[in-house]
Structure 1
Amino acid sequence: MGSGLLYVQAAQRLGLQPITLSDDPSRYDNFGAKDVETIRVDTDDLDALIPECSRLREAYEIAGITAARDSVYATVGKLCRHFDLPGPDPDALEQCCDKYTQRQLLAASGVPIPAYRLAANAADVENSAAEIGLPVIVKPAVGSGSVGVRLCRTADELAEHTNYLLGAKHIWRSAPRILVEEFAEGPAYGANIMGKEVVAVGIGDFGPPPHFVYRGSTFPAALIDDEYERIVDISLSCLRALGLGWGPTGIEFRWTKRGPVVIEVNPRLHGSPTPQMVQLAHGVDLITAHIQLVIGEESDLRKRHAQTAVARFLVADRDGLLDWIGGDSEAAAVSGVAEVKFYVQPKTPIVRKGDYRDCLGHVVAASSSLPRAEAILQRAVDLIGWSIIPLRGDS
């Protein structure tokens, strides 16, 4: 989920005045943060952003510019260069956000990744899958949040998902480019990096295939020293291969029979509630650390304590209309619960997509040990309920 509000709040705690630039200011109406000005502007249009920021600079001293979403992060890097502010390398970000280019650069540096092919049409997808061997992962070459990502185990599933991606249902911002990849089986780990330092490694839990909807995560992951060091070493190899190493990076792994394999490198923090969980587990505030880099200050990444943080995503179990959802207050009152958040309001239509949009909310808990944290989490989740009723016309 998005971390925009967390960035706004962290900036305010540092004594900064946040100003949000957005092509849809209404999405920030529920921020609940006071004294936040929001300006409507196309965040993909550098030529529109530069004069807007120049206008702001006449009234304010701009301390820094950043974003929580990788889709606009390269543009942020270009803005930082234009205004001579600390920021990421936009060229590195652009090549990282293209998953095919990312794969090529990682492979050239010897980083372990799944076998992959690039496809532009149905015949390419079919031929690529035949070369790699079923099952395969089929996904857009650009995107996030598992949108359009599916495990295809049979020729029929492959054809069905290819038709979906190339049909009118999936929105492409440019000509279709599809990645066909080997299915890397094994536990899913995530490395959370600031600069060139791996701050935390967590383990995630997905719902059932063929989709990849997060169900939960744990920090820190239960790894022996050698396993942790292997993930750190490969993470640093990814940074070198992709020209990253300024600001945040999130790397997703699968621990396969041949060890950790890199699934994806994202030039941003992993989405909420990961930053909150890293802070609960280790006492490191990654979002504040990122903003400190942005404004040219030193960030403190020293671990201050050791706890176990666990999260559970509340995932819709059917399509329809969300009639009611509740129990958040009761769940939040459970000792050890750090956060309960709903993403949707009653009377919202629910149409499952097989990606992050299927999540209705999350619950985070922390304690001194994994069994205690899991028990607290389950107690809280049991207090939450919702009802999804059929939409009119549904059978």
Structure 2
Amino acid sequence: MTAPGPTDDRPRLLMVMPYRQFVRKARAEGFWVGAIWDPRLESPEYLDDVRALADLFVSVDFQDPELLRRTLREVAREHRATVIYHIGREETMVTAHEVAEELHAELNPAAAIRFLADKHAMRDLLARRGISPVSFEATPTRREVPEAVERIGYPAVVKPTALAGSRGVFLWQDARDRTAWTALVDQYGYDGPFLVEEYLRGPEYSVETLSRDGRHQVVGITEKLLGPPPLFVEVGHVHPAPLPQDRRRAVEELTTEFLTACGYRFGPAHTEVIWTARGPRVVESQARLGGDRIPRLVELATGLDIERAIFAALADRPAEPVEPTATAIVRFFTFPPGRVGEIHGLERAARLGHVDELSLRLRPGDTVPEVRDSKSRHGHVIVLGSSPKEAQARCAEVLAAIEVVIDDRPVRADGRAEALGTPV
């Protein structure tokens, strides 16, 4: 413990793995904020920032669920926490909300968080309610996956139910893919459980929502830009998604029906939906904000700081519905593996007036890692335009301007090898 007991009358918010901006924005809305973190999950420098911002900072091993439960109970009681909240990574969400429920300091029933955090529980719920029907099977270990794929039929999507951030998601297109899939899950050291689902064909979207008292406000719909199979790593997002009104309404209605069925009552949700030939189908959902800089896209396009809006709603100051006035795009860099020689065009691209953020994680002399999930991408750019067409053109301009020489071969950030003029 790094602070004495409570000495003021601010509402007392105890958060599990709150990011820096969450602590800052919660305090700006008038909350005392306690932060509980596993020091292995972020750098010491990052956690020093969280410690400096928070009223209380406590370290604990998240891999020990009973220790986390005990720590939450002790800290909450000692510091008179009125709310225990977790909108970080999914792995410890259910544990945190179970303790919150036990201490009558919850914002959501633990069961609602379980439906959103557990892909199998979500599919079972949807099947029972007749919402967004999708063929699926659950398997406890990798050994049962090949037979489940055969029963679902090729192609089938195999998801590790206990991993997040697109890690280990794989499209089995025929029996020969078993070797590649086995190598992928070996890289994560993961043996199960898995979910095997029918392959849903169509454009994919995420729906950003804020819920309060069980009412779900759709903040906006984001279009996903996906990489090629079998991994489908996300390479970009467009907010708001350019959708016809009838399709937009159907996606919104499915999302709010789904969240209501889960019993979700408060906070952000990031729900992924594919528009199929049979209409929209829920892919999965999380009881948190979207990653991949989506909150920043929302703010650029609408003016709404969706992160601060969470804590404003908790302070009984809910945000009003917002309409977009621009289009914001994030594109991630995915260069081929190899050794980096020179990098060109980065500074010039950063000076463009429509570039909001630009980050490249590669330096001369680095070895470029293979992109196999969202954590292994090589950087990103965010651009803003007055319309989807203008934003897309500006994004293409930036991608074409950045060039990385890899193994003596110039490769642009738009994925083309300059010497040959062909995709890599």
Same fold (TM over 0.5): yes
Q: Does 1:308 align with 2:327?
A: yes
d(CA) in 2 for partners of 1:64, 1:178: 30
Superposition pairs for residues 1-395 of structure 1, below 5 Å? Answer: 4-11=19-26, 13-14=28-29, 19-24=34-39, 26-27=42-43, 29-30=45-46, 33=49, 35-36=52-53, 38-44=57-63, 45=65, 47-48=67-68, 50-51=70-71, 54-55=74-75, 65-82=85-102, 84-121=104-141, 124-162=144-182, 164-165=184-185, 168-172=186-190, 176-195=192-211, 196-293=216-313, 295-303=314-322, 305-318=324-337, 320=338, 329-342=347-360, 350-388=368-406
Q: Is the 8 A contact 2:135 2:198 kept in 1?
A: yes
Q: CA 1:95 to 1:344, structure 2 compared with 1: closer, same or farther past 3 Å?
A: farther
Q: Which runs of 5+ in 2 are unaligned?
A: 1-16, 409-424
Q: CA 1:329 to 1:164, structure 2 compared with 1: closer, same or farther past 3 Å?
A: closer
d(CA) in 2 for partners of 1:258, 1:169: 35
d(CA) in 2 for partners of 1:317, 1:178: 29
Higher deviation after alignment, 181-190 or 327-336: 327-336
Q: Deviations over 1:145-174 (max 9, x none)?
A: 111111111101035414653xx43334xx
Q: Which runs of 5+ in 1 are unaligned?
A: 391-395
SS in structure 1 at match of 2:382? strand
SS in structure 2 at match of 1:299? coil
* 1:393 corresponding residue in structure 2: none
SS in structure 1 at match of 2:187? coil
d(CA) in 2 for partners of 1:150, 1:340: 29
Q: Is the 8 A contact 1:194 1:245 kept in 2?
A: no
Q: Is the 8 A contact 1:188 1:255 kept in 2?
A: yes
Q: Is the 8 A contact 1:322 1:388 kept in 2?
A: yes
1:33 deviates by 4.7
TM-score normalised by the chain length of structure 1 = 0.84
Report the identity percentage. Answer: 25
What amino acid is aligned across from residue 42 of structure 1 in structure 2? D
d(CA) in 2 for partners of 1:159, 1:134: 16
SS in structure 1 at match of 2:91? coil
TM-score normalised by the chain length of structure 2 = 0.79
1:186 deviates by 0.7
